[in-house]
Chains A and B, each alone.
Chain A
Amino acid sequence: MNVSSLTIAFTLAWRNLWRNYRRTLIMLLAIGLGVWAMVFMTAMMRGMVDGMLKDGIRALPGHVQIHHPNYLDDPSVANSIAEPQGTLLDALNHPQVDAWAMRVKVPAVISSERETRGVMLLGVDAAAELNLSFDISHITQGQFLPSLTEEELAVDVQAQKAAKGIVIGVKLAQKLETRLGKRIVVMTQDIDNTIVDRGFRIVGLYQSDIPGFEEMYVYSDRRLIQSMVGLKGQVSEIAINGDGYRDNQALLSHIANASPADMKVESWRQVDAYLSAMLEMMDGFVLVWIVVIFLALSFGLMNTLIMAVFERVREIGLMQALGMRSSGVMRMILIESLLLLLLGLAAGNICSLLSIAAIQDGIDVTAVAEGMAMFGAKAVLYPVLQYSDMLLANVVVIVLGLLTSLYPAWRAAHYDPIVALNKH
């Protein structure tokens, strides 16, 4: 093979491609549509799973979480861990950790004057929680819990009052038929299995875009809850975020190495099997989808090339008679196929980028919001284009496309030149 024979192969391939421009355009349309569907659909599915994961991780404690070994099975105050100290505290304040917070998290029953509901009571440090998971813009009325130092809490009467506040979801408030500023009673079990109850004033109402979240979680000050349930220096969980949810192996081992033996350090993947399975299934789905679409395309591609070869039998015979080797003929057909694939890919990629850009603000699927909620997804779908998926689609189309073209190319290369030349 030399440069000039490659040049002539390209020239021939390119010009041959446009000899029957209608056929080529139809094929380009098909490849373009296929590639668009591959990339666009994948981006939508990725977007859905991404949204689920982000919400899921927000609803869960964090990318990495520390619990008492029995806590996830039995989320009771009895299964608590010590507040972080020493090496663990150092590890948490390490730059590898984006944010962390500790919480007391206990099941409780909340009652207004009229209604009663079961909830999860979170005792949090306002500042840390805002940093980690709570979006302050979700507060629709009142405010989030105040951030108070120990000193303020010790001396300031106003602060003591403020600390007795509770923040609940808007929907929960509706169900309880209560509102901002009203008192509610929270009943739970302390460390000695005694039922304890305490009155709180509602200082803030929040809304969540995570389905079911705002009916489930109520926030109050960690120290208040610790004293209420009798947990001194103990919390239910420590939640840690790194720089991304996908790959958290490094963060996991960083924290695990610093934790005392009686604490269990897990990533969200271990905690939520459904989400983790969804994420893994997505990778499989993306590949299957891309290959299925390619296969649907491949029949057309094969036919187009077979026809292209069939129409040019005499000319191919001529080239062989003139001294072009079979490998040269094959190369020529493969290049023709490659050019077709590349053009189709370019069209498909451009269309998918444009259409993804066009719906960057999300597609509203509120009509099926509760259905999406059943899958754990939101009412607004955002496309998330992963370039690796796009690359995969392109590689699959080129590699499998060339494999598909091997047969027509091989056929072309193995015509008997005499028979080919005499064909009419």
Chain B
Amino acid sequence: MIKVTCRKLRKTFVQGETQIKGLDDVSLSIEKGEFVCLSGPSGSGKTTLLNALGGLHTPDEGTIEIDGDVISQMGASELADLRLRRIGFVFQSYNLIPVLSAQENVEFVMQIQGVDSQERDQRAKAILKEVGLEGMETRLPAELSGGQQQRVAVARALVSEPALILADEPTANLDSATAENLMQLLENLNRKHQVTLVLATHDTRIMGFARRQIRMQDGKIISDEISSGSQHALRGGDPLTASHQEQDF
């Protein structure tokens, strides 16, 4: 079953006098449960593609279907609902709402969805435990390390059980060890929950975690490879238990 399909996407940005091709005739389909890595230099179009998949950008041309729904034709509030129910986001930085605690950040999406408070509490606690943040539920983002913050963001992206998680340079502000931990976490979650994961990065350290590698340049896909096996065992051990002591200040 095909989960995400893009056909002939085009998107052009105008910056001053020059036109920048964000997406240039991009077609792509992603199966359910896939772990896809978009890579390429900055300006290659990977973030644009990610944002288009998340309904944050409307492409100039082409269509995007998620689970059969054509999102490129949706209005603003339909798109908001799409993001709310079917897509989880993890951003490079500034991922959390500063005035909300870790658990409240995780509950945020569920609250907008209207999930009742008991269920919210249960699910948020469970997912925070799963990402290794048990006991830190009441901390504010400012009281968490960068890696912990990204874990909260991952927990939030996962908690509403979206079909698709989009992560844009989630490790950009993290040191190597922390970045690796985060990637192991993502990979495990991908396996365990069968959630489709699309990651944009130019960090070569972490590309290997994904099973499918798509490389982009100047808004075009220049290669699309599926690696046979995971290369994640760089350090070994289960990331869910090994990653608690990270220090990345």
Contacts and interface: CB of A to CB of B under 8 A. Distances in A.
Interface of A: 2-5, 7-8, 11-12, 15-16, 19, 314-315, 318-328, 417-418, 421
A5 B94 contact: no
Q: Which of A3, A8, A11 has the most CB of B within 10 A?
A: A8
Interface string B86-100: 010101001111111
Given A320-B80, A327-B77, A421-B91, A19 B99 contact: yes
Given A7-B111, A418-B57, A325 B77 contact: yes
Given A318-B91, A321-B91, A324-B84, 20 more contacts: A4-B111, A4-B114, A5-B112, A5-B113, A8-B112, A19-B99, A315-B94, A318-B94, A318-B96, A322-B83, A322-B89, A322-B108, A323-B81, A323-B82, A325-B81, A326-B77, A326-B80, A327-B77, A328-B112, A417-B56
Nearest to B162: A323
Nearest to A1: B114
A5 B89 contact: no
Contacts of A324: 80, 84, 112
10 contacts: A4-B114, A4-B117, A8-B107, A8-B108, A314-B94, A322-B84, A323-B85, A326-B77, A326-B80, A418-B56
B54 interface: yes
Contacts of A19: 98-99
A5 B111 contact: yes
Contacts of A321: 54, 56, 83, 89, 91
Given A2-B114, A320-B80, A322-B89, A11 B104 contact: yes
A320 B84 CA distance: 9
B80 A325 contact: yes
B76 interface: yes
B116 interface: yes
A184 to B, nearest CB: 83
Contact of A15 (B91, B99, B110): B99
A153 to B, nearest CB: 86
* Residue among A2, A19, A325 with most chain B CB within 10 A: A325
A118 to B, nearest CB: 77
Contacts of B4: none
Given A16-B99, A417-B56, A8 B111 contact: yes
A323 B80 contact: yes
B226 interface: no
Contacts of A417: 56
Contacts of B112: 4-5, 8, 322-324, 328
B242 interface: no
A323 B56 contact: no
Nearest to A13: B99
B109 interface: yes
The 6 closest A-B pairs by CB, nearest first: A323-B84, A15-B99, A2-B114, A323-B83, A8-B111, A325-B80
Contacts of B100: 11-12, 15
Q: Chain A CB within 10 Å — which of B91, B96, B104, B107 has the most?
A: B91
Contacts of B12: none
B217 interface: no
A5 B116 CA distance: 10
B115 interface: yes
Contacts of A12: 97, 99-100
Q: Of A2, A16, A326, which is in contact with the most chain B CB atoms at under 10 Å from its CB?
A: A2
B99 A322 contact: no
A417 B98 CA distance: 17
Interface in B146-172: 156
B51 interface: yes
Contacts of B77: 325-327
Contacts of A418: 51, 56-57
Interface in B113-166: 113-117, 120, 156
A322 B99 CA distance: 16
A281 to B, nearest CB: 48
B80 to A, nearest CB: 4
Contacts of A421: 91, 94
- Residue with the greatest number of chain B CB neighbours at <10 A, chosen from A8, A16, A323: A323
A218 B150 CA distance: 92
Nearest to A413: B76
Nearest to B99: A15
Contact of B116 (A4, A320, A323, A328): A4
A322 B56 contact: no
